[in-house]
């Protein structure tokens, strides 16, 4: 058997998420955009894990990437500059010396059946790539080690177009009638369309019984509400549907005395709803205060995340705001109690954020949604 045929017999056991792009076209780090309650990075890793025993994540030279809940994957910094998918493919081939399945992190709906068709075609070629009409999909493709020399030649000439090296190797094109499995999120308009497609599917949250849950805690006047106000738009922009809970140690009245609905309650209704075209309010009497986790499950079951303000003793996961500018000398949480610390000081914490880093904090939260569901 020739060396080439021996290589074609080598099974593909490595999946690589190409996640080194800068995201300049979309205006934010697309790796943390969320669909169906998981980031694009988490979805890509989960997809590859269903097919391959080894999964790696490719990033650009010098890039840092918060993997959050993702464990058991290798982070591969590119061996060539440029933060291009081609550099990521070359780095993975050089590292593993084995065929790889390369997946772009911004593919919204990768399909297992489509992947298996590509894998089958890889038994006879150096590259197996989907093709729809005249278009190829090189970020959902198999690359064998024989490609490495040709790719390196391209990179050394500062050429980063993936298909540029194809004439130097054997390529198997796998024909598809539809590009649905290769929906790529390059702009926020693409992301909005992906979210619309998810909503139209109506099964995105099947089997989920509770939202992710965390609380923003801190001493009086630390800036909890201000942080939540800045955090919510960033979480929304990542595609998360958010609910909030504000703890009030005192009784309160949200209805207006004398209104018809108020009169319903005064007449003996244990619960009543005030409904309008744009909003709805449920008012119910309680024999005892509901715990935070019960509030999240009962009223926010179809939400991605609930952010509570307060509930220091009840919240399963906490982000603390500690602000020396508010006159505080000590923190509210004990060491190791808070997932992250937002502060205007240099207080030690593994995950410390400045007061103005709401976007980075939102990405930190999105990367840990699996953890935040466990309560």
Q: What is the DSSP letter of 80?
A: S
Q: Do residues 116 and 221 both lie within one domain?
A: no
Can you give the pLDDT at residue 279?
81
Q: Do residues 49 and 115 both lie within one domain?
A: yes
Which structure tokens are listed for 196?
């619309």
Q: Do residues 236 and 327 both lie within one domain?
A: yes
| CA distances in angstroms from 183 to 105, 140, 178, 197, listed in the order given | 11, 11, 10, 11
Is position 102 within any domain? yes
Which structure tokens are listed for 173?
């094109």
Question: What is d(CA 363, CA 171) in angstroms, rounded to the nearest whole number?
Answer: 38
Q: Do residues 216 and 149 both lie within one domain?
A: no
Which structure tokens are listed for 25?
């076209």
* DSSP helix/strand/coil, 242: strand
First to last CA, the chain: 56
Which has the closest alpha carbon to 209: 303, 100, 273, 289? 303
Paired with 135 in beta bridges are 132
% of the chain with per-residue pLDDT over 90: 75
Question: What is d(CA 11, CA 308) in angstroms, rounded to the nearest whole number?
Answer: 49
Is position 116 within any domain? yes
Final residue belonging to a domain, choices 172, 201, 230: 201
Is position 271 within any domain? no
Is position 268 within any domain? no
| CA distances in angstroms from 18 to 22, 58, 187, listed in the order given | 12, 5, 17
CATH number at residue 105: 3.90.550.10
Q: Do residues 298 and 170 both lie within one domain?
A: no
Residue corresponding to tokens 């490595």: 14
Count how many domains the chain has. Answer: 2
Instruction: Kindly report, residue by residue over 236-279, the tens digit of the pLDDT.
Output: 999 999 999 998 766 666 666 767 666 676 666 777 788 888 88
Count CB-CB contacts under 10 A for residue 84: 21
Q: Do residues 165 and 243 both lie within one domain?
A: no
Count CB-CB contacts under 10 A for residue 76: 21
| Stretch (H or E) spanning 231 | helix 224-237
Can you give the pLDDT at residue 9?
65
Q: What is the DSSP letter of 166?
A: G
Q: Do residues 122 and 219 both lie within one domain?
A: no
Domain that holds residue 155: 3-201
**Main-chain phi, psi angles of 153, to 5 degrees:** -60, -45
Is position 125 within any domain? yes
Is position 317 within any domain? yes
Final residue belonging to a domain, choices 180, 201, 222: 201
Q: Do residues 318 and 191 both lie within one domain?
A: no
* DSSP helix/strand/coil, 352: strand
Q: Do residues 177 and 218 both lie within one domain?
A: no
Can you give the pLDDT at residue 202?
52
Is position 354 within any domain? yes
Q: Do residues 128 and 219 both lie within one domain?
A: no
Final residue belonging to a domain, choices 201, 222, 243: 201
**Main-chain phi, psi angles of 188, to 5 degrees:** -65, -25
Can you give the pLDDT at residue 82?
80
Can you give the pLDDT at residue 269?
74
CATH number at residue 250: 3.40.50.300
Q: Do residues 109 and 157 both lie within one domain?
A: yes
The whole-number mean pLDDT for each consecutive block of 10 residues of the chain, a chain of 375 residues, reads: 61 95 78 94 97 96 92 94 91 97 96 96 96 95 97 95 96 94 93 90 58 96 96 96 86 68 68 82 84 93 94 95 93 94 95 96 97 94
Contact 16, 58 (CB under 8 A): yes
Q: Do residues 152 and 235 both lie within one domain?
A: no
Is position 269 within any domain? no
Residues 6 or more apart whose CB falls under 8 angstroms from that of 352 comprise 340, 341, 342, 343
């Amino acid at each position: 058997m020739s060396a080439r045929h021996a290589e074609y017999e080598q099974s593909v056991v490595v999946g690589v998420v190409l996640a080194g792009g800068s995201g300049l076209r979309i205006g934010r780090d697309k790796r943390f955009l969320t669909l169906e309650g998981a980031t694009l990075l988490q979805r890509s890793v989960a997809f590859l894990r269903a097919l391959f025993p080894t999964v790696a994540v490719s990033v650009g030279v010098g890039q840092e990437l918060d993997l959050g809940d993702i464990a058991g994957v290798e982070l591969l910094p590119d061996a060539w500059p440029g933060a291009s998918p081609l550099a990521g493919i070359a780095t993975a081939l050089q590292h593993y010396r084995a065929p790889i399945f390369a997946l772009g992190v911004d593919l919204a709906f990768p399909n297992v059946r489509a992947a298996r068709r590509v894998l089958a075609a890889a038994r006879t070629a150096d590259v197996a790539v989907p093709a729809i009409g005249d278009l190829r999909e090189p970020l959902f493709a198999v690359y064998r080690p024989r490609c490495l020399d040709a790719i390196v030649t391209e990179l050394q000439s500062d050429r980063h177009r993936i298909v540029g090296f194809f004439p130097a190797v054997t390529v198997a094109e796998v024909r598809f009638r539809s590009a649905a499995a290769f929906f790529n999120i390059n702009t926020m308009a693409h992301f909005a369309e992906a979210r619309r497609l998810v909503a139209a599917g109506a099964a995105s949250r099947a089997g989920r019984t509770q939202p992710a849950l965390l609380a923003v805690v801190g001493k009086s006047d630390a800036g909890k509400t201000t942080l939540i106000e800045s955090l919510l738009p960033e979480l929304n922009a990542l595609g998360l549907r958010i609910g909030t809970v504000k703890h009030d140690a005192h009784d309160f009245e949200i209805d207006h005395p004398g209104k018809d609905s108020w009169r319903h309650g005064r007449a003996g209704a244990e619960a009543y709803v005030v409904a309008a075209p744009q909003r709805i309010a449920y008012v119910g009497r309680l024999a005892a205060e509901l715990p935070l986790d019960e509030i999240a499950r009962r009223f926010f079951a179809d939400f991605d995340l609930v952010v509570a303000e307060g509930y220091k003793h009840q919240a399963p996961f906490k982000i603390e705001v500690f602000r020396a500018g508010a006159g505080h000398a000590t923190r509210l949480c004990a060491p190791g109690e808070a997932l992250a610390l937002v502060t205007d000081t240099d207080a030690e914490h593994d995950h410390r954020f400045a007061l103005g880093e709401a976007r980075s904090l939102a990405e930190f939260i999105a990367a840990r949604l699996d953890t935040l569901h466990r309560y």
